[in-house]
Amino acid sequence: MSLSKEDLKAQVKAEIDRRAGEIIDISTDILAHPETGFFEARTSEVVQKKFGEMGLAFTPELARTGVKARMRGRKAGPTVGILGELDSIITPDSPVADPDTGAAHGCGHNAQIASMIGAGLGLQAVMHHLDGDVVLFAVPAEECIQIGERLELKEKGELEFVIGKPELIRLGAFDDIDMVTITHTPHGLDDSHASVGDTHNGALVKRIRFSGVAAHAGSFAHKGINALKAATIAISAIDAQREKFHENDLVRISPIITKGGDATSSVPSDVRIETMVRARTVEAMREASETVDRSMRAGALAVGARVEIETVSGYMPNNPDQRLIELQYANCAEVVGADNMGGARHQSGSTDVGDLSMLMPVVHPRSGGTEGAPHSREYYVRDHTLAAVNPAKSMAMLAVDLLYDEATEARAVIASAPPKLDRDAYLKLRRSFDRNEVFDGAAH
């Protein structure tokens, strides 16, 4: 007997409800054992163990720690990817931080992994009614942190990109996936239980080193070249140009001085800056990047210092697919209630789901169940049902929508999507941001 789409969704929800405790246990276990990007060994093992218990063949060690499993439908068709992110951030003062590493799940990825697995648990009951496949994919290193350590891995040839999904794209791990959903939990903005349709800024990372000349700061300061003053002039120069940024581009530049000198008794000769440069479009990212570079050169020129500017590609802007938004919104509203749905907004933060959005249709809903601002000590997942169980239902229900009845909806999503890049074109674009420059202010 042929079951209706509604019947299949009811089965999915019932199975996820039956195993809700199991899903919550995954979320709370990962919360208690945070690990940072490309080093999520224990979290990866949790996923592998769970896939094994589900009877799924899986591929581990993708981009070091990623784990990918395929659930096959009754016939070949489009493939829907359901993702969860393995990594945490560094927030040493968080109440849930690892006391040894300072790592903490300040963005809710623990609930993401649980919701991805939960969606798979629900879908296993109905895959034999669907016309296409579902890939469950635990992916590493969404957070753009510990850039120095990641560049060391690059120098060793262990990776090229410092963010997880771009590295997986480079490796071809998304070549057999046609569209993606992933639910993020860093809400904390209102009391809604879900929302769908957010867009996000893209971002670059810059590592900057000013080199001057050391000298005794009391007796022979005139013989030195103060690299710290070059850096502070450069940061001021960025601020002086903010009115040139178009408001719609939502440019965000956030420099920090990671080294300000070696001793108060010496003119600083070695000063380091790191900054992210975020903007809403690729074009605005390029313009803001050049603004920062000009400002760094200006600081070096002003005092006759030398500056090295390393630009590392971070995230591409995230623009979700409209048809997927409509389908996912309906499923989220069915799970949490229409009155509990929040509105979509543009987020000036970033996600590497944006990189995927350049290659395929994506949707990136948010769930409720959290308190506090993301990436702060106040952030935590207070309700694992809202943060992990509910998204498992809505993402599994979306997969049913897409792959039901000859995968009609999935094929429509693919057909109606705006033009996308192929892998080679995407890699060319991404690599175009990576560059190193040396400017000697004394020579000018």
Q: What is the dihedral of CA 380, 382, 384, 387, to 10 degrees?
A: -60
**Domains contained in the chain, CATH given:** 5-201+317-427 (3.40.630.10), 210-313 (3.30.70.360)
Q: What is the mean pLDDT of residues 267-279?
A: 97
Give the number of C-alpha atoms closer than 13 A to the C-alpha of residue 167, restricted to the C-beta side.
26
pLDDT band at 393 (very low <50, low <70, confident <90, very high): very high
pLDDT at 1: 58
pLDDT at 189: 61
Q: What is the CA radius of gyration of the chain?
A: 23
Q: Where do the H-state alpha helices sit in 124-204?
A: 147-155, 164-170
Distances (CA, A) of 146 to 103, 143, 149, 152: 11, 9, 6, 10
Q: What is the mean pLDDT of residues 423-427?
A: 98
Q: Where do the H-state alpha helices sit in 241-372?
A: 282-303, 322-336, 353-357
Q: What is the mean pLDDT of residues 17-25?
A: 98
Percentage above 70 pLDDT, the chain: 99
> Is the confidence at residue 190, as pLDDT, over 80?
no
CA distance 290 to 274: 15
Q: Are 248 and 221 in contact (CB under 8 A)?
A: no
pLDDT at 373: 80
Residues 350-375 pLDDT 10s: 999 999 999 999 999 999 888 878 88
Measured in degrees and rounded to the nearest 5, phi and psi for residue 245 equal -75, 130
CA 65, chain centre distance (Å):
15
Percentage above 90 pLDDT, the chain: 91
Can you list the positions of beta strands (E) in 86-198?
A: 89-90, 103-104, 133-139, 179-181, 194-195
Residue 421 region, left (φ>0) first, then alpha (ψ -120 to 50), else beta?
A: beta
Residues 121-179 pLDDT 10s: 999 999 999 999 999 999 999 999 999 999 999 999 999 999 999 999 999 999 999 99
Picking from 87, 316, 312, the residue whose alpha carbon sits closest to that of residue 200 is 316
Amino acid at 257: I
> Is the confidence at residue 187, as pLDDT, over 80?
no
